[in-house]
Structure 1
Amino acid sequence: MKRALENAQPTNFKERKKQKLAEARTIAVQSPPATSKTTAAGPSRLPNDKLKPIPGAIDVEKFAEARAFEINALKSAIQTTKWDTHHALLPESNYEPFRSASTTRAWQVLPRHLRRRAASHNPRRVPLRLRDKARAEMDPVRKKALGRTLPKLGKKRRPPLDVKFLKRQRNKRWLETHIWHAKRMKMEDMWGYRLAVTPTEKAFRPSHRASIHGSILHDASYQSLVELKGPEATLRSVLEVCCDPQLPSPGAPRFTLGVRVANTFIYEPKAYPYCLICPIIVMWRARLSHTATLGSKKGKGKGKEKQAQPNPPNDLRTVWIRFHPSVYSEVFSALRSSISQVLEDTSAGNSIVDVQLTDIRGEVGIFEIMGPQSSQILRGALSPVMANAGDEFKKFWGLLRNLQSSGSVPTDMIAGFTVNDPRLKFPPKNAKVELPTGDIISSSMPVAPSANLAVCNLWDQNIRNSLKNPRYQTKEINERRSKNLVPGTFLNPLRTDDRIPVMLIQTSVEDRDFKDTEGIHGWTLIFPAGWCMSFLQQLTFTGTRVAGQREHKTQGFEAGTTYFPSDFPSVEAYDTYAATKAEKDEAKWTRTPPAKRVNYAKIGTRSPWKPDWEVVLGLKMPPSEPAITDEESAPDLVPTQRENNHQEESTTEDVAHHNRAWLLRGPEVRSMISDLRRDLYPGQQLLTIVNNLRAKRSQPLLGDTIKADDLLRSALVSVHISICSKGCPDDLSMIYSMPDAELQEWRKGLIKVVHDPAAGEVEFLNLPDIVPSPDSIIGYITTGGFSLSRGEGFAIGAVTLTSLLELEKQVKRVSNYAKDSIFVKVRSRKGRHCRLARLEVVQN
């Protein structure tokens, strides 16, 4: 009876699984063979067995046959307890029953960064050593569905991979690192490229920590690049015609030497302050005179001899202009018009001038490496050629090891040098910071920008074309590495190996006048096309995180700087961006059931999909009927929207060209606003300021067709919004002004929060429920959310200049302090709750 109970099979699933695991983890034992002579007490034993002599030799074959059962049992136990990659040790029929006995699945063995969601459905997405285990763990139904009914084409009949990839790039372009990004990040079509938006893993906070404490890399090779060639005086005039007059001229001596890059804004020629296109980066090619070259060769000459001498007036110079890819046609057209205007003025003197405008997109790769550890990562990943390097570069490269932040380097400085093939120095080792032993730690880098340091062969198109295809493939480099006696040692560069010219540019994302947060500093690495994957694998192996478009935008948001094009209203690129986003949001809202979506008409949101800047500025009348109502049916919505759109188009055509919105920005914005606030006629004062800036660049003054009041009324100003209480603003939130009485109540509650938080919250209970009228909207938030660096809600938006002047006057009326903060109310488009916020003007 007891034996029958032991042999009974358990009916519960957990018991069966437990018994199965117990049997799989038990080593089988062979029972002793039965003898012919037996007694009642058991098998008989011969008395002379102990006296048998021990054999002097053992027959291996007979001994293995005698112990065959124990050997097979031990192998089976190894297979069931821990999966062995060498399946040849055990026949297929032996390890088939024990496949489910392992405690970990094939995908749990992999490190986290190699796991893929598709791997659970396709065993070919796992490494080769685990594919057999993955196939064994698959569902039999799924395994059968993956079976191919038709055989694969032979290798000779298969189309090449480059032909396959070219077919996918008919309406867009791929970066060289596209396949690497596509395996790890979410991709979208943007600005004519297929770009990475965000990593598939949860990388929002880790990416922010990497930019603050470590390093993060962004492939910016999609940015447009244009080359200008011509006489220096002509190029200087071309840039001054279309660049922002508030900022330093790109033709200033500090930039024409080629030791720094110039960050400015480009407008349509002679159209300032209207027709802003985008921010640009201007870079001049550094050139050395004969005296500077001799001084650098000697190495012991005086410092004055090493400086670059001014070039002759008719000397040909080269300028690179880097900008956002969404406005390539606008920038190219503006530069071409500027060249035409300058050449017309120059041709009056019967002199022949030739200026070349060339598109060099795709000829260089651009990596942005941000974070305090970016210097050590570049120091460990790159291997410069020191044979032909100058003394200044050797000093710069030596100090780069102990640089704790690139923010201590002179802003926007350029360093050009030549490096060996990065694949020879794999795996890279990051440089370690060695802090000085003295009591005083220098916060600045004792290397000044110079032409000797900025000279680089990357400007030569012939050199770039010769390096477009690496001389050796990665397979050949690995074969050389496999012949090393000591594994992991670096390869010595040969004379036939490639030497790549690169440029390092100091990059900072910061608003120096905004003291609420710290900036993010790093380097921009520029190198010839064809080497993106070589540098990417070298840099990512150091532990550097890789950023997509979302992480790249977050860096500017955390630093308090505006991001193009989302934070540039009144620009054509912003209109395209806002229209695309509005289409997506409206489509998502339409798919949502009426009971689950927000009724924007009921809560009083006038424009839920796209900011109506013309209505806020007073250039257009608000719509008489709400555009979105849940009570109306879908067929009724279509005629209403078409009528509104037709009305907008007709109204826009009636508005004069000079009456359209324009964005006031630059380092002098705050001083300009203070001057306008003190003037009795701010419109006339603004017109005078604009004419002075235009005269500074030899541009004609604004004529009588533009009225001073229209210029003032159509101006927008970028602002920072900091929430005073809980919550964080989101995109398209509305910014309201408040009456003096309500502002005083908000200020009383804010003061009580500082002294007594509990009492202050009581004061705030009724104020947020006061819904202001749509007429008090003074602007919109373009980028908002929770700021990780500040620990509170933060946003970047834009308000009208006239309302900003009124808020400045309101501060003097309500507050006793002249420099008190400007307060506004912020309301999300999806709710009625209002929040108090501080407003500050953006100057960068």
Structure 2
Amino acid sequence: MEAPTGRNVPAPTRKRKFHEANPSGSSKSGKPAKTQDKRRKRQDAREISVQTSENAFWDGQFDPVSFVNAREYEIKSLLRSMNSSKNAQRKRAFQSLPRELRRRTAAHNPSRVPKRVRATAQIELADDNTTLQKKRRDYRPNARRLNAHQLRMLSVRTGDLSTSSDSRQASSKGPSRIRSRLGSKSSRYRKRQKHKTWLPTHIWCAKRARMVCKWGFSLADTPNLKCYRPTYRAATRDGCVAVDTSYYATILLEGQEKELKRSLAKFLPPRDRAFVGKSVISGESVRSTWMYEEGEWPNGALTPIQIFWCPESVKEHEPRKVVLRVHPASWDDAWKVATASTAASKCTCKNLRFEIGSIGLTGPRTVKVLHALLGSSFDFENMLVDRITYGSGKDPRLGSFYLRRQIPVPPVEEDLITAPVESLFNTKCRNASVNAQVSQKTLNSHVSRLVSGDSTRSLSYTKIPFVLMRELVGVQADLGHSNPEPPSSHRWSILLPWKWVRPFWLVLMRMTGVRLGGLKELEQLTLEGGLGYFPIDFPSTKAGRAEALEKTKERLDRAKRRSTMKTKGASKKSVPAAPADSEVGTGYPWDQVLETGNHLPCKEPKVWQLTPDLVRLFWKSSQGTLPPSLSSSVFAARIRVFGRGNIDPNAHIYVFSGHAARLVSQVVLQHSRDGNSMASVLEILDSEKIQLEGAGQAGKATYSLAGFVVRGNFGFFEAAPVAVAALAWAKVYEGEASSDQGSHSGWCILQNGGRGIKRLAQWTAI
């Protein structure tokens, strides 16, 4: 049927105005097309299309069949609009959960979501007509058959003394009989740990975090979720961040007290509190200090360590025990120094690296978590920093199951609290607790019997020895027992037998307010607290040089991959140059900072790390008493930048000379009194004709290159960009020699990449 034509034909009218798509991407009112699409989507959910027809009304008669057929389109449109308006902007069951509870398989399996939304998920599956298909397991022995060579290797590793003929005969019959003897839990994932070692919580963390192979372990780098801000909130407000720190190595020294002090004095600073302090020797507190090469103090710093003494035994002439906690990045050097120092004396050195694990907890909710995990009989609220608590607890899985099943908890036995304090470092006690561990399958069967009312067989408690320490997250100088700010810098460390770390971890992750943390989260917390993070923040140590070189290679490889992409802006000039010879050993061009022509006779400077304790010691000393080797020393400092912007790695740090440093302090003080922004201090200094780029008094430069940024990010505690840098002692001490000697801080200039905008910053020694 053709449309009528003519000038007198009226144009068709519409009751509702439809928004047509604008091909230009904008409307007459100036609003973008996305806003119109969103508005049109909401209108379409409410509009009902109408099709006029009058075939049912003919000659005063009503034909219902014809009427229904004519309104078929309208009825379908009505039902379609009702369904679309009902489901518009509607979230599914798993989408209503927080991100830490969402799983990829939760969209198709109601049993994988919490109980409160399980009914909603089942209704959604019924509406979508989705059927669940359970994964079929293949129980045939041929699917998991081992060949003869693998059986021989497993038999050798597990200590099987069967002959080759027996193994050959067993392999011909089938692996089912031998697998029952050799397929133990220890050898289940042995092939996957040839070049690395799994932590006790590896399988749990590997599903929820990004794993990285470092220092001979497979460690959790960071969770899969975006958790930079939630980590800071949990560590400072109302949460708790848990990190599996079982990769820390444990060394046990055993012998008489005099011999132990003599051994410790060989690799510790002179008159250190680890072998002089009464509270440390009595076993009440833990000491955080640095280990040096034997007889190489103060130049041969190796690694920061934690030392604590086990309390004295009741028996007379009983040997004492000293425990050392060492970072795995410097394990080889620390073990060599410890064994060499004890070999000369009548002491023994034991390696407990894979026998004792640990869990680190940080946040204001940690005290409640510890009460629920270890028991309410301990006073964790009044526990000071660097204090240590020895005790023995029960299996945490029992309490969690009883609370979940709403079963009355049996009373705790009294001898659990009165256990010997050194039982964790006693091989018999430690092995006894591990051997008495109940499997998860047996535990479930006991709980099911208790639920059904069968209380004939009760669960027996297992004594689990533990050691609890309250310490700092990172590395800092010895400031006594003062509480540094922010409070997120405090951490509770629980030392447990290696096999008991996983049960404690599984119960811990089910508690309210506990978040998973990795290596990146530890870096963030140390950056917020102004503490050093080993080995990244100490690039002049042996472990720090290896870490800096690895970071440099990763940065160069990343830039090279970007430059080879098929983009218009890619060019050969954007590829960074290879590291120079001076960067191979340290990762940073210290030859530009130390000025080898004036300070050192060789072209390639050999810098050595200045520990935080030595910075405090040498800063208060006079110039004549300082060792001459300080001209090639480097120390860690915290950088706070005033103003906006980001901090790039390897950013250059410039410090002022003595005259300019005093003038900068005066200008900054006057500027802060006026209430102006600190970001414009450099402009005011330029307006007062301070030659920042020229020559100062006595022919010395007003400022000079003093170091490089190691790592940086935005700090929530300071509400400003913060970083950790490595500064040269010679450059900093010259600029601050005439200023306040007790401040351990000063003003500097930060410049990303050695070029670009210069910003005012303040450095503080760590």
- Please name the residue that 2:297 is paired with: 272
* Rounded Cα–Cα distance in structure 2 between residues aligned with 1:423 and 1:801: 53
Contact between 2:391 and 2:465, CA under 8 Å: does it hold in 1?
Answer: yes
* Rounded Cα–Cα distance in structure 2 between residues aligned with 1:158 and 1:465: 36
Q: CA deviation at 1:24?
A: 11
Describe the superposition over 1:171-228 as per-residue Cα deviations: whole angstroms up to 9, x where unpaired: 1111111111112111111111111111112222222222223322111111111222
* Rounded Cα–Cα distance in structure 1 between residues aligned with 2:232 and 2:355: 31
Describe the superposition over 1:483-541 as per-residue Cα deviations: whole angstroms up to 9, x where unpaired: 44599x9x999574422111212223485589774563342111112122211122222
- Please name the residue that 1:113 is paired with: 100
- Please name the residue that 1:835 is paired with: 759
1:772-811, aligned counterparts within 5 Å? 776-809=704-737, 811=739
Q: CA deviation at 1:752?
A: 3.6
Contact between 1:823 and 1:839, CA under 8 Å: does it hold in 2?
Answer: yes
Contact between 1:589 and 1:597, CA under 8 Å: does it hold in 2?
Answer: no
Identity %: 23
Describe the superposition over 1:113-132 as per-residue Cα deviations: whole angstroms up to 9, x where unpaired: 33235767x87995697699
2:260 aligned with 1:195: no
Contact between 2:401 and 2:447, CA under 8 Å: does it hold in 1?
Answer: no
Query: Which secondary structure state, in structure 1, belongs to the residue aligned with residue 550 of structure 2?
Result: helix
* Rounded Cα–Cα distance in structure 2 between residues aligned with 1:775 and 1:745: 11
Q: CA deviation at 1:322?
A: 0.9
- Please name the residue that 2:157 is paired with: none
* Rounded Cα–Cα distance in structure 2 between residues aligned with 1:114 and 1:492: 38
Contact between 1:600 and 1:608, CA under 8 Å: does it hold in 2?
Answer: no
Q: CA deviation at 1:742?
A: 9.4
After TM superposition, the structure 1 stretch with the greater mean CA deviation from structure 2, 106-115 or 552-561, is: 106-115
Change (3 A) 1:7 1:115: same
2:626 aligned with 1:686: yes
Describe the superposition over 1:382-425 as per-residue Cα deviations: whole angstroms up to 9, x where unpaired: 248xxxxxxxxx6xx2x44xx2xxxx524322222221221110
- Please name the residue that 1:235 is paired with: 260
Contact between 1:250 and 1:282, CA under 8 Å: does it hold in 2?
Answer: no
* Rounded Cα–Cα distance in structure 1 between residues aligned with 2:456 and 2:313: 32
Aligned with 2:463 (options 499, 513, 516): 499
* Rounded Cα–Cα distance in structure 2 between residues aligned with 1:474 and 1:5: 67
- Please name the residue that 1:388 is paired with: none
Query: Which secondary structure state, in structure 1, belongs to the residue aligned with residue 222 of structure 2?
Result: strand
* Rounded Cα–Cα distance in structure 2 between residues aligned with 1:716 and 1:138: 67
After TM superposition, the structure 1 stretch with the greater mean CA deviation from structure 2, 512-521 or 225-234, is: 512-521
Change (3 A) 1:319 1:135: farther
1:406-555, aligned counterparts within 5 Å? 408-426=382-400, 455-484=421-450, 494=458, 496-509=460-473, 512=479, 517-518=486-487, 520-543=489-512, 544-555=514-525
1:490-639, aligned counterparts within 5 Å? 494=458, 496-509=460-473, 512=479, 517-518=486-487, 520-543=489-512, 544-593=514-563, 595=569, 610-619=587-596
Contact between 2:656 and 2:735, CA under 8 Å: does it hold in 1?
Answer: no
1:22-171, aligned counterparts within 5 Å? 22=82, 105=92, 107-108=94-95, 112-117=99-104, 126=112, 153-159=138-144, 165-171=189-195
- Please name the residue that 1:665 is paired with: 611
* Rounded Cα–Cα distance in structure 2 between residues aligned with 1:818 and 1:285: 36
Describe the superposition over 1:85-124 as per-residue Cα deviations: whole angstroms up to 9, x where unpaired: xxxxxxxxxxxxxxx999654643665333235767x879
* Rounded Cα–Cα distance in structure 2 between residues aligned with 1:779 and 1:586: 20
Give the alignment's TM-score, normalised by structure 2: 0.70
- Please name the residue that 2:15 is paired with: none
Q: CA deviation at 1:775?
A: 9.5
Q: CA deviation at 1:839?
A: 2.1
Q: CA deviation at 1:563?
A: 0.8
Contact between 2:560 and 2:576, CA under 8 Å: does it hold in 1?
Answer: no
- Please name the residue that 1:339 is paired with: 342
Query: Which secondary structure state, in structure 2, belongs to the residue aligned with residue 165 of structure 1?
Result: coil
Query: Which secondary structure state, in structure 1, belongs to the residue aligned with residue 275 of structure 2?
Result: coil
Q: CA deviation at 1:370?
A: 2.0
- Please name the residue that 1:675 is paired with: 621
* Rounded Cα–Cα distance in structure 2 between residues aligned with 1:662 and 1:428: 56
Describe the superposition over 1:638-694 as per-residue Cα deviations: whole angstroms up to 9, x where unpaired: xxxxxxxxxxxxx99x679xx721122244533522433xx3xx4xx213xxxxxxx
Structure 1 unaligned runs (5+)?
26-80, 82-99, 291-310, 344-352, 385-393, 431-450, 623-650, 688-707
* Rounded Cα–Cα distance in structure 1 between residues aligned with 2:70 and 2:673: 76
* Rounded Cα–Cα distance in structure 1 between residues aligned with 2:554 and 2:442: 48
Contact between 2:251 and 2:324, CA under 8 Å: does it hold in 1?
Answer: yes
- Please name the residue that 2:749 is paired with: 825
Q: CA deviation at 1:574?
A: 0.7
Residue type at the aligned position of 2:308: M
Contact between 2:643 and 2:678, CA under 8 Å: does it hold in 1?
Answer: no
* Rounded Cα–Cα distance in structure 2 between residues aligned with 1:203 and 1:809: 43
Change (3 A) 1:231 1:335: same
Contact between 2:661 and 2:736, CA under 8 Å: does it hold in 1?
Answer: no
Change (3 A) 1:452 1:271: farther
- Please name the residue that 1:257 is paired with: 282
Change (3 A) 1:802 1:457: same
Change (3 A) 1:229 1:597: farther
Give the alignment's TM-score, normalised by structure 1: 0.64
- Please name the residue that 2:358 is paired with: 366
Q: CA deviation at 1:823?
A: 1.2
* Rounded Cα–Cα distance in structure 2 between residues aligned with 1:577 and 1:792: 27
* Rounded Cα–Cα distance in structure 1 between residues aligned with 2:733 and 2:456: 66
Residue type at the aligned position of 1:591: R
After TM superposition, the structure 1 stretch with the greater mean CA deviation from structure 2, 748-757 or 201-210, is: 748-757
Q: CA deviation at 1:235?
A: 1.8
Query: Which secondary structure state, in structure 2, belongs to the residue aligned with residue 583 of structure 1?
Result: helix
Aligned with 2:676 (options 749, 757, 774): 757
Describe the superposition over 1:151-173 as per-residue Cα deviations: whole angstroms up to 9, x where unpaired: 96435445479566332222111
Change (3 A) 1:337 1:466: same
Query: Which secondary structure state, in structure 2, belongs to the residue aligned with residue 233 of structure 1?
Result: helix
* Rounded Cα–Cα distance in structure 2 between residues aligned with 1:479 and 1:621: 76
* Rounded Cα–Cα distance in structure 2 between residues aligned with 1:263 and 1:205: 29
Residue type at the aligned position of 2:245: A
Q: CA deviation at 1:744?
A: 4.3
- Please name the residue that 1:34 is paired with: none
Contact between 1:730 and 1:828, CA under 8 Å: does it hold in 2?
Answer: yes
2:377 aligned with 1:377: no
RMSD (CA atoms)? 4.6
Describe the superposition over 1:275-313 as per-residue Cα deviations: whole angstroms up to 9, x where unpaired: 2110111122222326xxxxxxxxxxxxxxxxxxxx64x
Residue type at the aligned position of 2:72: N
* Rounded Cα–Cα distance in structure 2 between residues aligned with 1:578 and 1:497: 48
Q: CA deviation at 1:372?
A: 2.7
Aligned length: 620
Contact between 1:616 and 1:777, CA under 8 Å: does it hold in 2?
Answer: yes
* Rounded Cα–Cα distance in structure 2 between residues aligned with 1:246 and 1:596: 59
* Rounded Cα–Cα distance in structure 2 between residues aligned with 1:588 and 1:109: 38
* Rounded Cα–Cα distance in structure 1 between residues aligned with 2:527 and 2:728: 21
